A = this chain, B = another copy of it.
Amino acid sequence: MTQVENRQFRLAARPVGLPKASDWNYVKEPARQPEDGEVLVAVEYLSLDPAMRGWMNEGKSYIAPVKLGDVMRAGGVGKVLESKAAGFTAGDFVSGSLGVQAYATCKARDLIKIDPRLAPLPVYLNVLGMTGMTAYFGLLEVGEPKEGETVVVSGAAGAVGATVGQIAKIKGCRVVGIAGGAEKCAFLNNELGFDAAIDYKAGDIRKALKEACPNGIDVYFDNVGGEILDACLALINLRARIVICGAISQYNNTTPIKGPSNYLSLLVNRARMQGMVVFDYADRYGLAAREMAGWMAAGKLKGKEDIVEGLESFPETLLKLFSGENFGKLVLKVT
């Protein structure tokens, strides 16, 4: 029997605007012993995602809100310390919804075994994890890009955006990324092979988009909402597809969400705007991960992780997503 002291961030209050320190309770207590069918996992890395902000709100969404008093939900990877489940043994590495804590006691059937010899653990939270799956299925199944089309992605230096852009390049599209700051834009252009990158902090986004998309926009993959969504709507082509994956510019609003004023461009252009949630594609994660791993091995797809150390930093580290400070997939290293 493994006795370890757990450290957890529990949701203490539903945030108004940006989450603040008092929205969390930091709790130390012995980790719960696994029961039949369960394993005890030492959490090594946690995935920090914009979607977490939504899970903190009350009310109906694509997934139940985190209850007040519960450990904050988060995807993670870790090592099995003790197993009471068939097929799992101490030393196995696993990925799943582990929560913002140092140790997770969870049902083995909710976990996936991963192999750290094939890729470093954080990659299983990025390109080979939910992030990569979101990019893969959102772009290919909802965006339906065709060779030669122009694909625009916002939050392009973020985890999902960077992967979306690279997959679009693999599919033969002209790819334009929107990101904040010269450094991120240089990364998109020089490291990831985007055709153009727009620094939304550097001036008139509409003008820059128009220049970067001389043939208009066929697919817009939206991670941010707000003004950038409107700017893209103004430039869409006939039968364009807009993938609504997120709206990070709006998640911490204390005023109503800004709806896209230019939505009638959908009518004029017989275009569609469609939402996606990655869980719908769970039965095909394996296939997608194999294809993505192949692209990584061939040097066509790169992942970039922004790793911050220390579980205790969780409340401040999470905020990097909303200030745009993270550069690549934001990962919290627990130890």
Contact = CB atoms under 8 A, between A and B. Distances in A.
Interface stretch (A29-37, A157-165, A259-267): A259-267
A280 interface: yes
Copies in the complex: 2
Interface string A115-144: 000000000000000000000000000000
A267 B277 contact: yes
Contacts of A244: 263-264, 266-267
Given A244-B264, A257-B261, A264-B247, A277 B273 contact: no
Contacts of A277: 267-268, 270
A258 interface: yes
Interface in A21-75: 60-62
A274 B271 contact: yes
Contacts of A273: 263, 266, 272-274
Contacts of A215: none
A66 to B, nearest CB: 16
Main SS class of interface, A = loop
A269 B259 contact: no
A275 B269 contact: yes
Contacts of A177: none
Interface string A231-270: 0000000000000111100100000111111111111111
A230 interface: yes
Interface residues of A, number: 33
Contacts of A262: 257, 259
A12 interface: no
Contact of A62 (B260, B261, B267): B267
Contact of A268 (B61, B259, B268, B270): B61
A258 B272 CA distance: 18
Nearest to A236: B275
A263 B260 contact: yes
A208 interface: no
6 contacts: A244-B264, A257-B263, A259-B261, A266-B274, A270-B274, A272-B274
Interface of A: 60-62, 225, 230, 244-247, 250, 256-277, 280
Q: List the 6 shortest-distance A-B pairs measured between CB atoms, nearest first.
A: A259-B259, A267-B275, A266-B275, A272-B274, A259-B260, A259-B261
